[in-house]
Amino acid sequence: MAIRFLNKQPAVQQLSDEELVSRFSATQQETYFEELYRRYKHLAYGVCLKLMKNEEESRDVVSDVFKILFTKIPTSDIKSFKAYLYTVSRNECIAKLRQKKSEMDKMAKFNHVENSPTDFMESEGFAALFNAQPSMEQEVEKAVGQLGDEQKTCIRLFFYDDKSYREIATETGFTEKQVKSYLQNGKRNLRILLEKELRKHTT
């Protein structure tokens, strides 16, 4: 067995999010936080654009979000950085929208997200379970058969025929937004169905 003690430190670009968070927590060196900022600022901006519907305000919220992260990372137990970023971004947008009384009607659309692990973590746990199984083909086929017609159609066109959202929309007459929604819900339902199956196998 090759024993490699004290191998060279990898460049920050090669570190995982978890490693960056861990190292930033331990050392407070901005280099680690800078890499997280570089990786995710555009995504935080997009999330803010979706909720704020205003570019300038969205930029301000992104700035606030990363200031919060900079302060909170060292004292928080963060399991998934992107899940944490998503939660903080949404909550900051909602807080800003609450402040704007004239825009209170927008609030009805959004629910406050609690600071808890989201689908990200569930996906990772399930992925491990799913990938550890030797053959799931029959179970997947059975689960696809149990989906509603729209979800089934979109799932088959996307995963079996490699069609893009746009091509599926053209073929089915759904809008691209509907296609994405049917795929997201269909895949989530598949995961739930398969998880049940896998639990049966592993218990």
Q: Which of residues 77-96 bind other proteins (CB under 8 A)?
A: 77, 79-80, 82-83, 85-86
Closest contact distance (angstroms) between CB of 184 and other proteins is 5
Binders in 173-192 for other proteins, by CB under 8 A: 180, 183-184, 187, 190-191
Contact 145, 155 (CB under 8 A): no
Closest contact distance (angstroms) between CB of 102 and other proteins is 20
Binding letters toward other proteins, positions 99-138, x by CB under 8 A: -------------------xxxx-xxxxxx-xxx-x-xx-
Residue 2 backbone phi and psi in degrees, to 5: -80, 125
- Measure the CA–CA gap between 23 and 21, rounded to whole angstroms: 6
Closest contact distance (angstroms) between CB of 162 and other proteins is 7
Residue closest to 140 by CA, chosen among 187, 108, 70: 187
Options 57, 70, 98, 150; binder of other proteins; rule CB under 8 A = 70
Binding letters toward other proteins, positions 10-29, x by CB under 8 A: x----xx-xx--xx-xxxxx
Name the residue nearer to other proteins (CB basis): 83 or 94: 83
DSSP state of 56: H
- Measure the CA–CA gap between 199 and 134, rounded to whole angstroms: 14
Closest contact distance (angstroms) between CB of 114 and other proteins is 14
Closest contact distance (angstroms) between CB of 89 and other proteins is 8
Binding letters toward other proteins, positions 34-63, x by CB under 8 A: x--xxxxxxxxxxxxxxx-x-x--xx--xx
Contact 33, 73 (CB under 8 A): yes
Q: How far is CA 187 from CA 30, 55, 140, 183, in A?
A: 38, 32, 11, 6
Can residue 158 be called a binding residue for other proteins (CB under 8 A)? Answer: yes
- Measure the CA–CA gap between 122 and 145, rounded to whole angstroms: 23
- Measure the CA–CA gap between 127 and 133, rounded to whole angstroms: 10
